[in-house]
Amino acid sequence: MAGKSGREISAEVKGGIRSKILSWEGALILILVAVNILGVVISPNYNVSNVLREMPRYLAEIFMMFGMGYILVLGDIDISVGALVCLAGTVTVLSSNAGLPFGLAVVVCLLVGLLGGMLNGFIATRFTELPTMIVTLGTQIIFRGIAEVLFETWGNGGGTASMTDTKGLMLLAQKIGPFPIAFFCVIIVGIIMITVLAKTTFGRKLYAIGSNKTAAYYAGIKVEKMRFICYSLLGMLAGLCALFLLTATFGSNTTTGQGFEMEVIAMCVFGGIATTGGKGNLIGGFIAAFIIVCLRIALGQRNINTQVILVIIGLMLIISVLVPSISNSIAARKKRSAA
């Protein structure tokens, strides 16, 4: 369902695409179940309350997965989000320490994210010849660079700052029953983002742009405006991610958010969203995110070498894109021999 195999699929009849996408999500759910069974089998401590307790740090990343899904559907990519999380978190911590009330600090956090996203969007739409990977590579270094300068000039120096007034963060870190607040927020944001992408004209337009930018342009879609909106949205979600990450760390430092961009992209791709644009949906990404989180928690409880976990995730990523492609080509060969 990912990669160039998309071209072969689109050559088939419409019903085929639909049922296949459906089946990919079905497979993902099966994998999620399998991972959970695996967790219970290999670790005596793998149960609902422990998994939910370990989850908040990972949940923060899932917010960005939704935004990244939009960007990937457009056929773009954004690798600056990890650094943007760092910048948003840093500004929030420092402004809160300077006496800003928590409510306003939350607004500042989201606003910094939004502004960062808008900067990405501005450069990406103004210089359309530039690959978005390079634009966001540049802003990635810049965002983290700004955070470093802020630590030194505004904070106490030393590349790290922690929030002195943590009351507000404690409130956000609370649990309703066994469920952390972040969990509900992810579900709510998820439902909105999934519905917008799947059921509205806005979402359809994104697919149109991702499939064929020129055709979308001539069909009257304001391509650059849409791209700008998506980048801004992802930026704001990065702000949200920073906020919920703060509830776990109560502070920020120069390494905050390192490598998040790749983990988020991995979640999307594992969920069936193609980096070439126009394919996949967020439900898949949503399930895939939980697969990766559950797998990490399960293996973590078994004290498997953390680097081996990364190897396993890498293998899963490749297998998950290879399998549909191979089974497609087998099907195609069968069809040819039957005909």
Partner 1 sequence: MKKKVLSVLLATTVVASLLAGCGSSAAAPAADAAPAADAAPAADAAAPAASSGGATYALVTKSAGNPFMERMASGFQEAVEASGGTVVIQNPEAATPDAQISVVQSLISQGVSSIAVDGNDANALTAVLTEASNAGIKVLSLDSDVAPDTRAVYCNQAGVQQIGETLMEAVYDLTGGEGDWAILSATSQATNQNAWIDAMKKLMESDSKYAKLNLVEVAYGDDEPQKSTDQTQALLQNYPDLKVICAPTTVGIAAAAKVLQDQKSSVKLTGLGLPSEMAEYIGDDDAHSCPYMYLWNPIDLGRLAGYTSIALVDGSITGAAGDKFTAGELGDYTIEEIDGSTQIILGPPFKFDPSNIDEWKSVY
Partner 2 sequence: MKKRSIGQFLSESREASLVIVLAVLLIVVGIINPSFLSFTNIRQIFLNNTLTFLMALGMLCVMLTAGIDISITSTLAFAGMSIGLLQKYNVIHNTFLLFVIGAGIGIICGFLNGIIIAKGHVAPIICTMGFMYIWRGMAYVISNNNWASGMDVAGFSDFGKDGAVGPYIILIVAYAAFFILMKWTRFGRRIYAVGSNTEAARVSGINVDRTLTGVYTIMGLLAGLAGVLSVSIYASAQPNMQYGKEMDVIAACVIGGVAMSGGRGSVAGTFLGALIIGIISKALPMVNIPNFWQNLIKGVIILAVVILNVVTQRTMDRQNLLRREM
Q: Which of 300, 335, 293 is nearest to 316 (CA)?
A: 293
Which residues have a Cβ under 8 Å from the Cβ of 297 and sit 6 or more positions away?
39, 46, 50, 51, 54, 55, 58
Give the phi and the psi of residue 253 in degrees, each rounded to 5: -145, 180
Which among partner 1, partner 2, none contacts residue 135 (Cβ within 5 to 8 A by kind)? partner 2
Indicate whether 317 belongs to the interface with partner 2 (CB under 8 A). Answer: yes
Segment lying near partner 2 (by CB under 8 A), choices 45-53, 63-71, 102-110, 305-313: 305-313
Look up residue 252 and give its two tokens.
Answer: 């920020």
Judged by CB under 8 A, which of 163, 221, 294, 321 binds partner 2? 321
Number of residues that bind partner 1 (CB under 8 A): 66
Indicate whether 174 belongs to the interface with partner 1 (CB under 8 A). Answer: no
Which helix (H) or strand (E) covers residue 180, if one does?
strand 179-180
Look up residue 157 and give its two tokens.
Answer: 């120096």
Indicate whether 318 belongs to the interface with partner 2 (CB under 8 A). Answer: yes
d(CA 91, CA 111): 10
CB nearer to partner 1: pick between 102 and 250: 250
Residues 16-35, mask of contacts with partner 1 (x by CB under 8 A): ---xx--x--xx--xx--xx
Indicate whether 276 belongs to the interface with partner 2 (CB under 8 A). Answer: yes
Which helix (H) or strand (E) covers residue 251, if one does?
strand 251-253
CB contact at 8 A, 96 and 105: yes
Indicate whether 10 belongs to the interface with partner 1 (CB under 8 A). Answer: no
Indicate whether 269 belongs to the interface with partner 2 (CB under 8 A). Answer: yes
CB nearer to partner 1: pick between 211 and 249: 249
CB of 49 to partner 1, least distance (A): 9
DSSP code per residue over 129-154: TS-HHHHHHHHHHHHHHHHHHHHHHT
Judged by CB under 8 A, which of 137, 187, 189, 332 binds partner 2? 137
CB of 54 to partner 1, least distance (A): 4
Cβ neighbours of 249 (radius 10 Å): 16
Q: Name the DSSP letter for residue 330.
A: H
Indicate whether 77 belongs to the interface with partner 2 (CB under 8 A). Answer: yes
| CA dist list (Å): 113 to 53, 80, 236, 243, 324 | 27, 11, 5, 10, 36
CB of 133 to partner 2, least distance (A): 7
Segment lying near partner 1 (by CB under 8 A), choices 97-105, 111-119, 133-141, 301-309: 301-309
Helices 102-126 & 223-249 angle (0-180, nearest 10): 150
Judged by CB under 8 A, which of 18, 53, 204, 335 binds partner 1? 53
Judged by CB under 8 A, which of 140, 232, 252, 253 binds partner 2? 140
CA dihedral 227, 74, 136, 309 (to 10 degrees): 140
CB contact at 8 A, 216 and 224: no
Question: How buried is residue 103: exposed, middle or buried, by Cβ count under 10 Å (0-12/13-18/19+)?
Answer: exposed
Binding site for partner 2 (CB under 8 A): 2-5, 8, 77, 79, 123, 127, 129-131, 133-135, 137-142, 144-146, 148-149, 151-152, 159, 262, 265-266, 269, 274-276, 305, 307-311, 313-315, 317-318, 321-322, 325-326, 329
Q: Residues interacting with partner 1, by CB under 8 A?
A: 19-20, 23, 26-27, 30-31, 34-35, 38, 42-46, 50, 53-54, 57-58, 148, 151-152, 157-160, 162, 173, 245, 247-251, 253-259, 296-297, 299-312, 315-316, 319-320, 323-324, 326-327
